[in-house]
Structure 1
């Protein structure tokens, strides 16, 4: 799993695979990025493989952030695998970056 941070650590791009085998590594990276900002955008368009366990981890991370008065925005514009998994498990994502970034 590759991670790339942009825009003063407000945008985290995930690349590669997000699945049950690497969830703790990805969750730690998300929590570390969220320690440096109030609002974190996670770009999922470059994921090659993604499963329901990965989707639920992102959902739980988002809820945990909300409990701490922070925000995680899940972004996917083109990746059909990510769109399918999110639709299957019923998780909302953004198709366009919010105005604060775009």
Structure 2
């Protein structure tokens, strides 16, 4: 099961597995967190497993936020598995925390 914790009111760390079996739950939690801020950073480095369905959910949730004038930043500095999955799917991520909207 995926464990999520707030590090700040704008940074959400995703830990464990993000896969087809828990997408609805995780997407709901991300969207709930985004209700509290115009910009949310998702730290993906602690993820142990990410499948294509999980990557696609992150992409769709990011696009949906953008359409609502909000921002989700996918942050991955060192997790090679996440980087590889994103390279196959063409999803853009950041390797350092970019300037975010206030």
Deviation of 1:14 (Å)? 0.2
Deviation of 1:99 (Å)? 3.7
List aligned pairs for 1:83-102, cutoff 5 A: 83-100=83-100
> Structure 2: how far apart are the matches of 1:64 and 1:97?
21
> What's the TM-score, normalizing by structure 2?
0.94
> What's the TM-score, normalizing by structure 1?
0.94
> Structure 1: how far apart are the matches of 2:76 and 2:68?
24
Question: What residue number does 2:73 align with?
Answer: 73
Question: What residue number does 1:57 align with?
Answer: 57
> Structure 2: how far apart are the matches of 1:99 and 1:40?
11
- What is the total number of aligned residue pairs between the two structures? 99
* Off by >2 Å, runs of 4+ in structure 1: none
Deviation of 1:98 (Å)? 1.3
> Structure 2: how far apart are the matches of 1:18 and 1:87?
17
Deviation per residue, 1:4-62 (Å, 9 max, x gap): 1122x200000000000000010011000000000000000000000110000000000
Question: What residue number does 2:4 align with?
Answer: 3
RMSD: 0.8
> Structure 2: how far apart are the matches of 1:74 and 1:19?
16
> Structure 2: how far apart are the matches of 1:88 and 1:99?
26
